[in-house]
Every structure is written in C-alpha cells, then in structure tokens.
Structure 1
C-alpha cells in the first residue's frame, strides 16, 4: 500500500496551487463529501488565500447535495452519491452557484463501513471544472483506514488542480 501524503506534501502542493491561481487570476471553489472540507482547509492554510479561494462546501446528505449544489434527485436515485454522474453535477453546481472560476468536487466511501461489492471502501470520485470550459472526472480506489483514504483523496484533488493550473 502506498504511503499517504504527509501534511508537508499537502502544504507544498497547496502553496503551489495558490501561486498559480493568483498568477492566472483564478478563484477556486470546493465541493466535498468524503473529505468534509479538508481540501478547502489545505488551500486556506496558505497565507493570502483569500486572493484566490472563493468558497467551499461540505455536503454529506443527499438533501445537502441537492440544495447547495443542485444535484438532481434522479441522479442520486439512479447512480448513488458515489458516482461519476453525481460528482460531475457537484462540480458543475459548485462553479455555477459561486463566483469561482475553477472548482473541484469529491465524493467517496472513506470507511470503515458503507462499502458494497460495486463500490468498496476506498472508492472515490474527483471532478474538476473550469468556468465555461472543461469538466473532467476520475475514479480512484484507495487503501487504508478512513484517514488514509481521505488524505489520498485530498492529495489527488489537489494534484488535479495543480495539473489544470499548470497547463
């Protein structure tokens, strides 16, 4: 099992994202389910983040995903909270309902319970979206306890932001 990223690694990545976002005049938005605001915390731990971080929302329940991000009830009913379809609607809602220009959304099963044969513990979907442009989503299968799964999800979300800002 790979070693989850350290706090120092997450801090370094967040600082780099902040510099790129500031230089490219982006405002970042997060929509988080299984990570519960950890991505937003990493980003806002960077001094001066208010210049490039717009907002973040932690949404665990179906009702919160619907009310705060506009995820359709039919999507949740047909595909569940942990799915490509749901994370795509989460990231789209995050950007359309904010002043942000670049968004990341995460939904997954961090454990220790809640997994199924189709979606075992460690299944995480991450999506990224730029206002008026692309949306991309990726599924990951992480190993380890709840903290390890969440830490790896945060890392992948940040890495994706970094890739997009570096392009």
Structure 2
C-alpha cells in the first residue's frame, strides 16, 4: 500500500465522510503510532464533528490505566498482540462517547523485535459500540517511520472496510 502524506490524507477524508454519513464518532487508541492516527484525522477541517478523542498508551501501565487492558492479557499475550489490540479498542469505546474505535500496537523498530515478534509486526483492533470487533496482524518492512506510516494507513483502511459494511445510519 502506498503510504505517502497524500494517501493518508485521502484515507482520513474517506473515514471522516463515512463516519459523518453514519452519525458516528471515532476514538483511537495508539501505541507504536504515537498519536499519528489522531494527527491524520484532526488535520482535516471539520473533524471535530466525528472524532471524539485519542489515547496514546505507549506503556503497559498506560494501556491498563487508561483503557482497562487486563494484566493477564499482557502477561499471556504481550503488548503486541491481537488480544491486546482488541482490549485497547474495547476500552477506548468504554471510556469515550464514540461508536467506532481503532487500536494499534506494534514494534516499529529499529530494536525491540524478537523471533516471535519481529520488528515491523503491528496488531490492530477495530470495534463498534454495538459489539462488532475485528483484529489483524500485519508485518511491515522499512525503517521506523515506514512501519508507523504503513500502520496508520492500515488502521484507516480497516476503519473504512468496517464502516462500508454498515448501513448509512447506525448511531
């Protein structure tokens, strides 16, 4: 997937239009992207009509305190796991006024990877207040910025996939 600034802006615009068209609010929960999803969507004029808030939960403690990620999930699966991403998304929904959530946690590098969880591994969670949830793990290549940029694009694309399956008004 092409991941330049223009691509991220177009994806953010499409997400915004899909959310606004359905009367929904978005919340983001970010770890390795460090708020880049929030930056991408709030760079758009009018995003205050559909973006509620964002959480940057880089440490495990922040994930637990701010989003309610369970210690046992972190112990059994690690911070970089679909299980953690799913709990991040669910917690963000619970702690916000939003109906739609996206969560990202991963290893952007250049260090921190392992044989089981290499640099470039990023886990995503998407959730709707009404209960629908999805997770995905991707393996990106490139330097730290490239991994993070691809993660933002994938997070926004996943939101579009989820929103495009919903009827026009779900709020």
Normalised to the residue count of structure 1, the TM-score between the two structures is 0.97
Q: How many residues align?
A: 165
Find the residue that maps to 1:153 and give its secondary structure.
helix
Of the three residues 71, 83, 86, the one matched with 1:85 is: 83
Q: How does 1:1-167 map to 2 (within 5 A)?
A: 4-167=2-165
Report the more deviating stretch, 72-81 or 118-127: 72-81
CA distance in 1, matches of 2:141, 2:3: 13
Matched residue SS, 1:110: coil
Cα displacement (A) at 1:133: 2.1
Deviations 1:101-142 (A, max 9, x none): 000000000000000000000000011000022110000000
Q: Which moved more, 1:77-86 or 1:31-40?
A: 77-86
Divergent runs of 4+, >3 A: none
Structure 1 residue 97: deviation in Å? 1.0
In 2, Cα distance between the equivalents of 1:88 and 1:22? 24
Deviation at 1:56, TM superposition (A): 0.2
TM-score of the superposed pair, with normalisation by structure 2 = 0.94
Alpha-carbon deviation of 1:65?
0.3
- Structure 1, unaligned stretches of length 5 or more? none
| 1:87-112 superposed Cα distances (whole Å, 9 cap, x missing partner) | 11101000011100000000000000
Q: Indicate the RMSD between aligned Cα atoms, in angstroms.
A: 0.9
C-alpha separation in 1, matches of 2:84 and 2:128? 17
Whole-Å separation in 2 of the counterparts to 1:121 and 1:59: 19
